[in-house]
Amino acid sequence: MQRLKKTLLNFRLQLILTLFIVLISLLMLINDYLTALIFNQSYYLNESLLFKITIVLLLLPALFYTSLGEIKHSREINVVKVLLLLVPTAIVHVFVASYLIQLIGQNLLNLPFTFSFLIKNKFTQDFVFIITTYGLMYLIARYYYLNISKANNNKNKTLSIKSGTRRDIIDIVDIDWISAETPYIAIWIDEKKHLYNSTLTDILNKIEHTDFIRIHRSTIVNISKISSITSRLNGDYDIQLYNDTKLRLSRTYRTPEIDSQLRI
């Protein structure tokens, strides 16, 4: 269920970015037409559409924005890291766009554009536009994951736990960690244990909260409760919570996504 929801959320982001690019393309076509009209110049739709290849190519990287861990989980923007990602991508974009415009222009439209001319044209006129658009897409994706996606993933805010004839309602955000205690699980809040009839896999699906991750075959932790993480130098880590509880992050449960969440 969680995998399906994650796929759906990623698809929604890709759709948002695609609509953003389509809107830019339409605005640029309108701008070309109005410019020709104002300056009493000839307007050629084929040429205008051809040069929009530069914008259409933005659709390709839009499909991969959902796989960037920093967008998903970091609330801090590392400007240097972002520029090291965007600048080379924009340079490659210019070369690919110039090649495609030359190829299509010469073979289908008989337009005398040379590759060197197009490279100079794109770098002098479109490079800032391209890198700015990449940056805006980055910010849209980042906002989506840190706000819209997280809001969708955190719908369940409380958990009902039955203890004899009494039923306790606890806030999910108050949970420190969860351990397996067959045939139950133990939910720990401020070092107090609550037994709950479930499995670790089922409880993760039930609470649907992005702050809870599986770190061991018998342990789930609320990452907002972590105070420190110490490497064991063998791929495992010791995780210490704010109340000095120590848990173990097993190397078998480490994934790039979990490393990004824990900032290892």
> What is the topology classification, in CATH, of domain 158-262?
OB fold (Dihydrolipoamide Acetyltransferase, E2P) (2.40.50)
* pLDDT score recorded for residue 69: 45
* pLDDT score recorded for residue 191: 87
- Distance, C-alpha 194 to centroid of its chain: 34
What's the mean per-residue pLDDT of the chain?
Answer: 83
Determine the Cα–Cα distance for residues 82 and 225; give it in Å rounded to an integer: 28
The number of C-alpha atoms within 13 Å of 130 and in the hemisphere containing its C-beta is 29
Determine the Cα–Cα distance for residues 101 and 113; give it in Å rounded to an integer: 8
CATH 2.40.50.1020 domain extents, the chain? 158-262
pLDDT in tens, 23-60: 888 888 898 899 989 988 888 888 888 888 777 787 67
Is residue 72's pLDDT more than 50?
no
- Cβ proximity of 91 and 123 under 8 Å: no
More confident residue, 128 or 81: 128
Burial 65-94 (b: 16+ CB within 10 A, else e): bbebebbbbbeeeeeeebeeebeeebeebb
Q: pTM of the entire structure? A: 0.55
